[in-house]
Amino acid sequence: MKHEDRKGRKHCTYGRSVNKVSILHVGIPTFKLVVQNRFLIYSDTIQADISRTFRNRGYRTKLCNRVQSVRVIFQTKMPIAKDRISYYYDAEVGTSYYAPNHPMKPHRLAMAHSLILAYDLHKYMEIYRPRKSYMYELSQFHAEDYINFLSTITPDKQHEHAGMMQKFNLGEDCPIFDGLFEFCRTYSGGSIDGAVRLNQGLSDISINWSGGLHHAKKSEASGFCYVNDLVLAIIELLKHHARVLYIDIDIHHGDGVEEAFYLTDRVMTVSFHKYGDMFFPGTGAISDIGENSGKYYSCNVPLHDGIDDDSFCDIFKTVMKKVMDLYQPGAIVLQCGADSLAADRLGCFNLSLEGHAECVNFMKSFKIPILVTGGGGYTKSNVSRCWTRETAALLEKELCEDIPEHDFYYQYYSDGEYKLKVTPTFAIENLNTKQYLQSVKNLVLQNLSSLDHAPGVQMQIVPSDTVIPEFDENSVKTAERWSTSEFVYRDDEFY
């Protein structure tokens, strides 16, 4: 359809037809356009001012340099298309077993997936079985000798390599177990491929609850984490986005991710965590703000025991609104560690499912491509409740509080009377006074105010999303030749 501005110049809009058409008055006198749900405007007179006008009013815009065009996603209340949300799960990760009495239980992933199926949430998103990442992909961040050791070490051989075990911090917290390297390849593959789908515009939201292992370092394991899938996913996102925002709501500081990007302004890390009292990992002071070109691009919000929904959500929204206004990321990675919930075996916060999910809702409201991962969480039934609740939040679905009866794991929810809620086992005093939280908020906002503008990046050739190396066809099994994750076609695939 054609429209004329006040000077008689014609402008063409192209868009898919929708039932609801709205009138949008752009804050520039020469434009009054009929806006459909998604459309492109082409004009020789359109300038970046229009893009800013749309963005300031809450729309997401993309200004292309090759042709002077603006793409506006109009904010109408419409159902999210199934093909815009990708979800990654492989049953193998749920059968992994760290060690007897170890607090990390990958079995929680199977429980979460089963509960997601029980609520029929899988019908509203595309399900993928993640491919196993290749060693060269893991080595984009991790040291090759470390990855090589992980790929070859087995439980029955570990006593022969005591020196290397100590060098790579493997042992009690990060034990060697059967299938360790396949476990790492699978959960990291889900995060990497989720990032690829965001880059290619195939999804707006990617979910990988098996990911989020944020403590792993370049050359060592740490805090139950071996391969840092978050760093690998961010590296993938940086191929297409000048700026990537990482957010961590795990009760433990996201030290591995912060350390990886401490010296750059292309990634901003924001972590809300328990700090002090020798709480693991002991990092994440408010004064840790990054160095060199990364100064002020590491943001830490240290909290005390017992913080509740109101206090946490208030400081979270205040900080993240400021970050989004200043940093203007092209993509977001959100780590949703569930150990910040009340009643966690290793945690000491008082968050409910609603408080935890409110952080997810808030970041989703910015309508920027987002990768959502799991993380910590050591009360299995609450972890599965949490990630099911947050899957529903991403899908904009309401869930019944009564957990549906299902064939697997239903009995585990007797601890909360089979309800979709967290029941604290004992009260934890909230040591976060109003004065303390206000002082933290003021310091964080002061640091953020030191950022003059969103940093740019030089133009360069965009690397390919996934470069699969050449293989000898006779030496590689067919199942190992996958270059992308496997789409699961049947609803009963996991039953």
Looking at residues 327-341, what average pLDDT do you find? 98
Looking at residues 436-448, what average pLDDT do you find? 97
Q: Which of 125-129, 269-273, 461-465 has the lowest mean pLDDT?
A: 461-465
Identity of the residue numbered 167: K
- The yes-or-no verdict on residue 495 having pLDDT over 60 is no
- Whole-angstrom distance, CA of residue 495 vs CA of residue 490: 10
User: What secondary structure, in 3-state letters, does 395-447 show?
Assistant: HCCCCCCECCCCCCCHHHHHHHCCECCCCCCCCCCCCCCHHHHHHHHHHHHHH
N-term to C-term CA, the chain: 49
Catalytic residue among 11, 142, 214, 215: 215
Identity of the residue numbered 454: A
Looking at residues 115-119, what average pLDDT do you find? 98
Residue 204 · residue 369 · CB < 8 Å = yes
Please report the domains of the chain, with CATH numbers, ordered by start residue: 2-73 (no CATH), 82-448 (3.40.800.20)
pLDDT digits (tens, 9 = 90+) for 364-392: 999 999 999 999 999 999 999 999 999 99
| Start-end of H helices in 243-379 | 255-260, 309-327, 353-364
Residue 89 · residue 494 · CB < 8 Å = yes
Could you list the beta-strand ranges (E) of 180-231: 205-208
Q: Are strands 331-335 and 370-373 parallel, antiparallel or unpaired?
A: parallel
Q: Return the structure tokens found at 345.
A: 């075996």
Identify whether 215 is a catalytic site residue: yes
Q: How confident is the model at residue 82 (pLDDT cuts 50, 70, 90)?
A: confident
281 contacts: CB under 8 Å, gap ≥ 6: 215, 222, 223, 252, 253, 255
Q: How confident is the model at residue 485 (pLDDT cuts 50, 70, 90)?
A: low
- The yes-or-no verdict on residue 487 having pLDDT over 90 is no
- The yes-or-no verdict on residue 327 having pLDDT over 70 is yes
Mean pLDDT computed over every residue of the chain: 83
Which range scores top for mean pLDDT: 392-401, 473-482, 484-493? 392-401
pLDDT digits (tens, 9 = 90+) for 391-415: 999 999 999 999 999 988 999 999 9
Residue % of the chain over a pLDDT of 90: 73
Widest pairwise Cα distance in the chain: 82
If one compares 15 and 143, the residue with the highest pLDDT of the two is 143
Q: What is the DSSP letter of 465?
A: S
Looking at residues 133-148, what average pLDDT do you find? 97
Q: How confident is the model at residue 466 (pLDDT cuts 50, 70, 90)?
A: low
Q: Which of 14-23, 114-123, 445-454 has the lowest mean pLDDT?
A: 14-23
pLDDT value for 81: 75
Helices and strands of the chain, counted as H and E runs: 13, 16
pLDDT value for 452: 77
pLDDT value for 3: 44
Residue 13 · residue 34 · CB < 8 Å = yes
Residue 304 · residue 432 · CB < 8 Å = yes
- The yes-or-no verdict on residue 211 having pLDDT over 70 is yes
Query: In this structure, is the dihedral angle defined by the CA atoms of residues 396, 106, 94 and 406, taken in order, positive or negative?
Result: negative
Q: How confident is the model at residue 460 (pLDDT cuts 50, 70, 90)?
A: low
473 contacts: CB under 8 Å, gap ≥ 6: none
Could you list the beta-strand ranges (E) of 107-202: 126-129
Q: Which of 188-192, 243-247, 327-331, 458-462 has the lowest mean pLDDT?
A: 458-462
What pTM does this model have?
0.81
If one compares 493 and 252, the residue with the highest pLDDT of the two is 252
- The yes-or-no verdict on residue 57 having pLDDT over 60 is no
Looking at residues 182-210, what average pLDDT do you find? 97
3-state secondary structure of 239: coil
Q: What is the DSSP string of 183-218?
A: HHHHHHHHHHHHHHHHHTTS-SEEEETT---TT--S
- The yes-or-no verdict on residue 39 having pLDDT over 50 is no
